[in-house]
Amino acid sequence: DAGVTQSPTHLIKTRGQQVTLRCSPKSGHDTVSWYQQALGQGPQFIFQYYEEEERQRGNFPDRFSGHQFPNYSSELNVNALLLGDSALYLCASSLAGYGYTFGSGTRLTVV
């Protein structure tokens, strides 16, 4: 049973560019959440997608947007990248908001 799959694992981008991160949820899960984890900090909630809609959003600017597809997979898009966007981006899937399983993350470096 495959867990949560994220791609790519590592990414280097230049300031001002745009990036798309991808997440495939654990089999049987219908909800996907995205988190940003800066070095030495706990993960911070970005947003959650359920039934292809953004159900809840954390304190992140509109530069951060997402999408959920009919097969429950999800994308996180970040526009106009800033140096401060450098972080580990984690995707978590769950069934009806219960029992969160996390992926291995995407390490984004903005230079």
Partner 1 sequence: SQELEQSPQSLIVQEGKNLTINCTSSKTLYGLYWYKQKYGEGLIFLMMLQKGGEEKSHEKITAKLDEKKQQSSLHITASQPSHAGIYLCGADSGGSNYKLTFGKGTLLTVNP
Q: Which is nearer to partner 1, 53 or 80 (CB)?
A: 53
Q: Is 25 in the site for partner 1 (CB under 8 A)?
A: no
Window 51-80: residues binding partner 1 (CB under 8 A)? 55-56, 58
Min dist CB 56 to partner 1, Å, is 5
**E-strand spans in the chain?**
5-7, 10-13, 19-24, 31-37, 44-50, 53-57, 64-68, 74-78, 87-95, 98-102, 106-110
Cβ neighbors of 66 (< 8 A, separation 6 or more) are 34, 46, 47, 49, 54, 74, 75, 76, 77
Q: Is 41 in the site for partner 1 (CB under 8 A)?
A: yes
Site of interaction with partner 1 (CB under 8 A): 4, 6, 31, 33, 35, 40-45, 48, 50, 55-56, 58, 88, 90, 92, 97, 99-105, 107
